[in-house]
Amino acid sequence: MSLHPSGRAARRAAIAGFLLHAVMALGAWKTWGEFGRGNVLAWTDFPASLAFMQLDGTPLLLWSLLAGGLQWAIIAALLTLSLGWAARARRR
């Protein structure tokens, strides 16, 4: 079963959003100090970070990668779909 072009675009955008978030989160984790990196991840993943903000160390990073990545994948897919809907509506 193949997806419509908008479905394929949304799936690609979701994957790209998840991967871009992972690169950003890992980069912040490696380059920021002990105090700053948790703050960066919390603000980047807000409001999903409210579910895992109490964690420290590796569990914080793992939850940020999972929950924050999922959040940004959904945002990317919805933005892609809304752009497609707007472009189709304008064409009519």
pLDDT along the chain (92 residues), means of 10: 81 98 96 87 93 92 96 97 85 68
Let me know if residue 4 belongs to a domain. no
Rg, Å, the chain Cα set: 16
Q: How many domains are there within the chain?
A: 1
In which residue are the tokens 């409210």 written?
Answer: 50
pLDDT at 1: 55
Is pTM, for the whole model, over 0.85? Answer: yes
Domain that includes residue 27, residue range: 9-87
Q: Which residue, 1, 3, 58, is CA-closest to 29?
A: 58
What φ, ψ does residue 46 adopt, rounded to 5°? -65, 135
Let me know if residue 1 belongs to a domain. no
Let me know if residue 14 belongs to a domain. yes
pLDDT at 33: 85
pLDDT at 89: 77
Let me know if residue 25 belongs to a domain. yes
pLDDT at 13: 97
